[in-house]
């Protein structure tokens, strides 16, 4: 490597293949607020996969790329921090990375870095949506679509923490769905089987929801929206549909009647629709809940050196894989 020091990192050299564990130049802090941290844990979130594959809406084509949008690390000041990286080609999946301390939080020494790295990204999706994209009030009813995923399971728990009345959890996988009442779901709806039956079940369970937390989009969302609007107890009651993820498709054919027949508004929540300042403002309280053990977290750690295996496993495991450079 020209110029000197190298570390080991997960390195993407082609958007068609998984990152490889190889040498990479040690990054150098530039601004006054930047420090080099030893990375302890970095989550392999869907956003990280789409970043590495070049399909996320924030992606550039710049390669090579070290993926990883957030993680837990320790800086030269000895402090343990959760950090959120800006869009960068030097991500968190490396022995060391550069962070901006203004985009980080100091964590208690007693916390589990793997649990924090696993949970912050999926948890912030619903936390920020309910705090920043809707005026959510205790007692309101919530429907979570794709509730069996990592973000969905945390959305159920966060809705409960925020005092939701009914929490309708809808998702695939009867076994995983059956675990959601223990996390706070008051009703569950299996999104499998005959499409008309699914629509009937969903419509019946969600007659009085105020907020939909949607990780699906695509055709299932279009069908769910029609079902929910059609069966609504009171179509004049405001309903905010928050689009957060698109695991079932990037576009959805929303019938115009759905928007006319009920007091429905569709908003999105993510990087851009919520400013970095607003996101950062929410993180300390969320991190406190995570480190206090408020949530059930579904994490699995793997050594960074096994990154290729981790990429393959991520498609089939329902646990959030966290890569650890120093296992």
Query: Which residues bind to ligand NAP, rule: CB under 6 A?
Result: 45-47, 121-122, 125, 146, 148-152, 171-173, 191, 215-216, 220, 244-248, 269-270, 318
Rank residues 49 and 235 by Cβ distance to ligand NAP and give the closer one. 49
- CB 277, min distance to ligand NAP, A: 15
SS3 for 327? coil
Query: Which is nearer to ligand NAP, 68 or 149 (by Cβ)?
Result: 149
Q: Two tokens at 298?
A: 């579904």
User: Closest CB to ligand NAP among 104 and 121?
Assistant: 121
Phi first, then psi: what are they for 215, rounded to 5°? Answer: -100, 0
Spatial distance between the Cα atoms of 106 and 322, rounded to a whole number of angstroms: 19
Q: List the alpha helices (DSSP H) in the chain.
A: 46-52, 113-132, 150-161, 174-178, 195-205, 218-230, 256-261, 276-291, 307-314
Contact criterion met (CB below 8 Å) for 140 and 208: no
Q: Least distance (Å) from ligand NAP to the CB of residue 135?
A: 18
Please answer whether residues 97 and 90 qualify as being in contact, where contact means their C-beta atoms are separated by less than 8 angstroms: yes
Q: How far is the CB of 325 from ligand NAP (least distance, A)?
A: 22
| Complex with ligand NAP: residue 261 or 266, whichever CB lies closer | 266
Instruction: Mention every residue, 6+ apart, whose C-beta is less than 8 A from residue 89.
Output: 62, 63, 64, 65, 66
What is the secondary structure of 104-160 as a DSSP string? EEE--TTS-HHHHHHHHHHHHHHHHHHHHSS---TT--EEEETTTSHHHHHHHHHHH
Measured in Å, how far apart are the chain's first and last C-alpha atoms? 26
**Separation CA 282–CA 81 (nearest Å):** 16
Nearest distance from C-beta of residue 117 to ligand NAP, angstroms = 13
CB of 282 to ligand NAP, least distance (A): 11
CB of 166 to ligand NAP, least distance (A): 20
What residue number has its CB nearest to ligand NAP? 149
Smallest separation (angstroms) from ligand NAP to the CB of 150: 3
């Amino acid at each position: 490597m020209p110029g000197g020091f190298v570390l080991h990192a997960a390195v993407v050299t082609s958007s068609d293949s998984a990152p490889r564990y190889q040498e990479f130049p040690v990054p150098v802090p530039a601004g006054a607020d930047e420090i080099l941290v030893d990375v302890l844990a970095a989550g392999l979130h869907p956003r990280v996969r789409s970043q590495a594959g070049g399909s996320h809406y924030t992606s550039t084509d710049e390669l090579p790329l070290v993926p990883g949008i957030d993680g837990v690390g320790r800086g030269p000041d000895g402090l343990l921090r959760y950090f959120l990286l800006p869009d960068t080609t030097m991500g968190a999946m490396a022995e060391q990375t550069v962070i901006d301390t203004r985009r980080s939080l100091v964590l208690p020494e007693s916390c589990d870095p793997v649990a924090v790295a696993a949970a912050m990204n999926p948890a912030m999706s619903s936390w920020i949506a309910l705090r920043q994209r809707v005026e959510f009030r205790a007692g309101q009813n919530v429907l979570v679509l794709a509730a069996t995923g990592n973000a969905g399971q945390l959305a159920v728990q966060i809705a409960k923490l925020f005092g939701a009345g009914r929490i309708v959890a809808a998702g695939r996988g009867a076994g995983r769905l059956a675990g959601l009442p223990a996390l706070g779901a008051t009703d569950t709806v299996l999104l499998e089987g005959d499409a008309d039956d699914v629509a009937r079940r969903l419509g019946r369970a969600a007659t009085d929801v105020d907020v939909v937390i949607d990780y699906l989009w695509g055709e299932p969302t279009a069908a769910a929206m029609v079902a929910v609007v059609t069966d609504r107890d009171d179509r004049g009651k405001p309903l905010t549909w928050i689009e957060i993820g698109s695991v079932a498709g990037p576009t959805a054919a929303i019938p115009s009647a759905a928007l006319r027949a009920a007091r429905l508004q569709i908003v999105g929540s993510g990087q851009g629709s919520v400013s970095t300042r607003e996101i950062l403002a929410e993180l300390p309280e969320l991190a406190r809940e995570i480190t206090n053990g408020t949530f059930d977290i579904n994490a699995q750690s793997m050594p960074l050196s096994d990154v290729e295996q981790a990429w393959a496993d991520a498609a089939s495991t329902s646990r959030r894989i966290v890569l650890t450079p120093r296992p």
